[in-house]
Amino acid sequence: MSLKNALVGIIAIGGLILMMNSPEKKITNNINKYVFESLDTDALKEFSIQSKDNTVTLSKSAEGWLVASLDNFKADEEVLFAFLNKALALKTGVRVSSGKSHFAKFGLETGTLLEFKSGDSKVMSSAVFGDNRMSKSGMFGSSPNGQYMRSQNDEVIYLLKDAVSLKTSSEDWISKKLPSVKESEIQAMLVKADGMKSVSLTRLSTTDQLEIQGVEPEEEVKTQELTQFTKVLENFSFASVAKLSSEKVTKSQTVVDNFEVRTFDGLVYNFTIGKKIGQDPHHWSTLKLSHVNGSKEIQDKVNLFNKQWADWAFALPAYSATSLLKKRSDLIKKKELPVVEKPQESGIEYGAKHILLAYKGATRSSQTRSKEDALKLANELVASLKKGDAFEDLAKKHSDDVSNKAKGGDLGTFGPKMMVPAFETATSLLKVGDYTAKPVETPFGYHLIKRTK
C-alpha cells in the first residue's frame, strides 16, 4: 500500500471516530423503541413528574386517579388519560450522544424526571426529559423541533421527534370548572355582601328579562354590566383547591359573602365567598347545591356534586370574586337629568297637580301632625302611586291644600317665579304626566307633584 493511500485511510477512520464522539452529529440509525416499553400498565398505581422546582404525584385508588400532591383531590381523567396515552406511545427517536459529560449540554443533568410506579412504590419505568431542540422558523425566530431525553439509569441521549408537555403544577391535573349555568336557565340571582345593600334579580318566565329589584324612577340599569353579570356562571372556573379544614381556608371563611342563583328547573347554587387574608391572593370559597322540587335527575346531580365537594374549598382570584359580588352601584346609575334651560320671564307656563302634607309649624298650616309623620305619610303615598293608585284620588283624600283638594290637587297653570323655588324647580324637571319620585319640601310642608303641562 502506498503512503498516500495509508494516510487517506487513517484520516477517514479518524474522522469517523470524531463524528461518533461528537454530540452534534446524529450518526446512528433511529432505534425506534418505545421509551416505556417495559411498563406494565395493569400494575401501574402511581406516577410522578419532578422538575427542579416542583413535584407532582398522581395515584390510583378505588375512586379513580387522585392528585396526591394536592391532598388527593380527584384528577381530571380526560387530561390524565390523554397524557398517559401520549407517554406510552413515545419512541426513542434518534440517538445523538452518550455519556454523563454531555448531559448538561442537552438539559439532562437535572431535567424533568417522569417515573411510573407499582402499588408497592417500586419504580417500573422512568425517563429524564431535557431541553427542546430549537429550529429556525423564518422571520419569526425559532420554535421547538423535538426534545432530548434519556432513560433514568442510562447514559444514552436520544432526540424525540416531538416535544413532550410535562405538567409540573398540581392544579394542571384537575378540572377547575364549576357547573356552568346559562343565563337562559336563571330564575333569580341574589348577592348578600358584607357591608353592602343586597342586590336581587328575578323574573317569572324564561321569556322575561332578569330585572333588578328596587330600581327607583330616577335610576336606570347599566345594561351592558347587567348582561355580563347574568352570564357570569357560564364556564366559570377557579384557581386551586384546599381542604376545608386547612388554615388558609378557615381564616378566609371567618367573614363571608353570599351569592345565590336559582334556576327554573329547581336547582339552587349557594356560594360562600371568603376574604383575602395576608399575602394569599385568593378568596377561598365553597359551593353547595340544593333543589326546590327538583326532578330525580336534579336530585342525583345535587347529591353527586355535594359529595365530591363536601370537604373542599376552591380558590377564586380577586377578579373572579368581584364578578360574583356585584354592588348595586355596579349595575344601577342615576338617570342623566335633561338639561333645563333657564326659563324666560314670560312666554312659559307650567301645569301641575299636587298633594300637600303639612305639619305643625309649617307656613299657613293648621295641622297637628309632626314633620316626621308628614314625611312618612308622603312616602307611603309615593308607594301607592307606584302601585298604580290615581294621583287625583290620593289628593282628594289626603291633601291639606283645601283650595284645590276637591279638584284632585289641580293648580291649573302658572309661570316662572309664581311658586316657591323648590316647587317650581321640581315641576320643571318633570315630563308631562310624570310625578316626583320623592316628596318635595317647601315652607308649606311636603308636596307630591304631577306635571300636567
Task: Say yes or no: 283 and 388 in one domain.
Answer: no
Any domain includes 144:
yes
Mean pLDDT of 13-19: 40
- Domain end among 301, 333, 365: 333
Task: Say yes or no: 216 and 290 in one domain.
Answer: yes
Any domain includes 178:
no
Task: Say yes or no: 168 and 299 in one domain.
Answer: no
Task: Convert the pLDDT of each residue in 22-78 to its tens digit.
Answer: 444 444 444 678 999 889 999 999 999 999 999 999 999 998 999 999 999 999 999
Asked which of 139-143, 163-167, 286-290 is least confident by mean pLDDT, the reply is: 139-143
Task: Say yes or no: 375 and 253 in one domain.
Answer: no
Task: Say yes or no: 310 and 393 in one domain.
Answer: no
Task: Say yes or no: 164 and 189 in one domain.
Answer: no
pLDDT at 161 exceeding the cut of 50: yes
Any domain includes 277:
yes
Task: Convert the pLDDT of each residue in 258-272 to its tens digit.
Answer: 999 999 999 999 999
Task: Say yes or no: 354 and 328 in one domain.
Answer: no
Any domain includes 392:
yes
Task: Say yes or no: 166 and 230 in one domain.
Answer: no
**How confident is the model at residue 3, as a pLDDT?**
33
Mean pLDDT of 311-317: 95
Boundaries of domain holding 231: 183-333
Task: Say yes or no: 366 and 310 in one domain.
Answer: no
Q: Cell 477517514, residue?
A: 12
Task: Say yes or no: 73 and 189 in one domain.
Answer: no
**How confident is the model at residue 216, as a pLDDT?**
87
pLDDT at 447 exceeding the cut of 90: yes
Any domain includes 340:
no
Q: How many domains in the chain?
A: 3
How much of the chain exceeds pLDDT 90, in percent? Answer: 72
Any domain includes 3:
no
Task: Say yes or no: 108 and 213 in one domain.
Answer: no
Any domain includes 343:
no
Any domain includes 14:
no
- Domain end among 126, 145, 173: 173
- Domain end among 333, 368, 400: 333
Task: Say yes or no: 195 and 280 in one domain.
Answer: yes
Report if pTM > 0.85: no
